[in-house]
Amino acid sequence: MQSFEVNSDKTAFIITGMHRSGTSLTAAILQSAGVDVGERLLGANESNAKGHFENIDFFEFHKTVLRSQGIDDAGWTLTETVEVEQQYIDQAKELIATNSKSPYWGWKDPRTTLFLNFWADLLPEGKFILVYRSPWEVVDSLYRRGGENDTIFFSHPDLAVKLWIHYNQKILNFYDRFPDRCILTSVYSIANQLEKNIEAINHKFQVALATPAPDIFERSLLRVQEANVHRATLVAYYFPEALNVYQELNAKAIQLDREHQLETMQKVRNSPYKVWAFQDWVDLCQSEKKGKRLQSELERSHAQLIQTQAELGQSQTQLAQIQAELEQSQVQMQAELGQTQAQLAQTQAEFGQTQAQLAQTQAELGQTQAQLAQTQAELGQTQAQLAQTQVERQQAEATIASMHTSKFWKLRTAWFSLKKRMKVATNK
C-alpha cells in the first residue's frame, strides 16, 4: 500500500480497542490533555453517559468500508483481514488532510482495530493507544448494553467472547509488529493511574501532553466485576484462549497496577465450583421474583393512575365550569366598564365646560379686580380732596367765627336787621 505523507510537526494518536473496553474514557482523557479528537463527535447515550468521543468522519468511514465487504458495520466479525478498496483509500487520505489541523490530533473508534495495518501504512508516524479490558467485563457490558447492534448476542452469547479474542489478538499482533509506535494499556491502569499514563505517553513518544482535568473521569461509570468472579472463571474454563490472550496483554502492557491484575488472575485461574453452574439459575429465579413484585407494584401504580385520571377529569370539569363563570363575569365587567367609561366621558365633558366657565369667571374677576383697583385709587383721591375740603371748611368756619365776633360784623348784622324792619314798616 502506498504511504501518505503527513506533516511531521503533527502527531496523530489513534485510540482503539475492543468495544466496551474503555476507549471512550481514554479519548476523553487525551482530549483533556490537548489532543484534538475531532469537531463532530458522536453524542452521549444511556450506555456512554459522558459521550463516545468518536469522530463521526472516521466512524462513518469504517462502517462504510465494512458494509462494502458485506460485514456488519457494528464490527461484529471474525474476518481476519478487511479489504479496503482504492476509492476508500483516497477517502481516508482526505479524512487525514481534513482532520490533521492541530499539533496533536487523532480519533477513537473500536472498529479501527480491524484496520490497524491500513492506518499504520497511511500514517507512518502515527501513534497507537491500544486499550484493553478483561473479557468477562466486556462480555457483561455488551449483554447489559443490549443496543440495536447487540441483539446478535441474545441468540449467540458466546460470540461476545469470540469477538473479544479476535479484537485483542489483533491488538497483540500489531503491538508485536510496531512496539515503538504503540502504548498498550488496560482501562484499569488508565482509570487508577491517569497522570502516570500521560507521563508514559509523553516519554515514549517524545510529546508534551498536558495534565488532564481532575474531573474528567467518574469512577462510578467503570463497572468492575469483583463480586461476580464465577462468571470470569466460566469464561476462563470454556474459553481458555481468552485467558491466554488476557495474560499476554497484561504481560506486555504498561502495568501501573500490577497487584490488582495478579490478584484478579489468581481468582480466575481456579476452576468454577459446581455450585456456580447453578448460580445464574438462582439469580434468574430471584430476578423473576423481583419482576413479579415489580409487576404488582406496576399494577398498583396503574390503578392509582386510573384513579388520578378520574380525579383529573373531575378537576377539568370543575375547571371548565369555573372558566365559564369567569367568562360570564368578564362579559359583565366589560359591560360595566363600558358604562363607567361613558360616564367618565360625560364627566370629562362637563369638567371641560366647568373649566371654560372657570376661565371666563377668572377673566371677569381680573377685570373686576382692575376696576376695583381703579375705584380704590379714585377713592383715595376723593378722600384726599375731602380731607382738604374739611380743612378749608374748618378754616372758613374759623374765619366766620372771628368775623361774628368783630365790631364790623355786629354793625352789619344790626344794619341788616334795621333794614328788614324798615322794609316791613313801609309795606304796611
Nearest to 10 by CA among 102, 94, 96: 102
The residues facing 199 across adjacent strands are none
* Residue appearing with cell numbers 373686576: 368
Domain span at residue 250?
Answer: 11-272
Q: How far apart are CA 101 and CA 37, in angstroms?
A: 11
pTM: 0.65
- For 194, the enclosing helix (H) or strand (E) is helix 194-205
Question: Is residue 73 exposed (0-12), middle (13-18) or buried (19+ Cβ within 10 Å)?
Answer: middle
Q: Is residue 376 part of a domain?
A: no
Give pLDDT, residue 422. Answer: 84
Q: Is residue 19 part of a domain?
A: yes
216-to-14, 25, 114 alpha-carbon distances in Å: 20, 9, 28
62-to-56, 121, 240, 323 alpha-carbon distances in Å: 10, 16, 31, 61
Q: Is residue 16 part of a domain?
A: yes
Q: Is residue 325 part of a domain?
A: no
Q: How far apart are CA 103 and CA 90, in angstroms?
A: 23
Nearest to 355 by CA among 363, 340, 339: 363
Q: Is residue 68 part of a domain?
A: yes
DSSP class of residue 158 equals: T
CATH of the domain at 55: 3.40.50
12-to-120, 122, 159, 180 alpha-carbon distances in Å: 11, 11, 32, 14
* CA R_g for the chain: 57
Q: Which residue stretches of the chain have pLDDT < 70?
A: 1-8, 42-53, 217-228, 256-264, 266-267, 269-284, 428
Give pLDDT, residue 284. Answer: 66
* CA–CA–CA angle 61, 63, 69 (5° rounding): 105
Strands 104-108 and 182-186: unpaired
Look at the chain and report how many structural domains it folds into.
1
Give pLDDT, residue 4. Answer: 39
Q: How far apart are CA 64 and CA 69, in angstroms?
A: 9
Give pLDDT, residue 263. Answer: 61
Q: How far apart are CA 426 and CA 428, in angstroms?
A: 5
Q: Is residue 420 part of a domain?
A: no
SS3 of the chain: helix, strand, coil, percent, to 5: 70, 5, 25
Q: How far apart are CA 402 and CA 190, in angstroms?
A: 147
* Residue appearing with cell numbers 385520571: 309
Q: How far apart are CA 79 and CA 163, in angstroms?
A: 10
Q: Is residue 120 part of a domain?
A: yes
Give pLDDT, residue 260. Answer: 58
Nearest to 232 by CA among 142, 169, 139: 139
Q: Is residue 268 part of a domain?
A: yes
For the CA atoms of 301, 302, 308, 309, the dihedral, rounded to the nearest 10 degrees, stands at 160
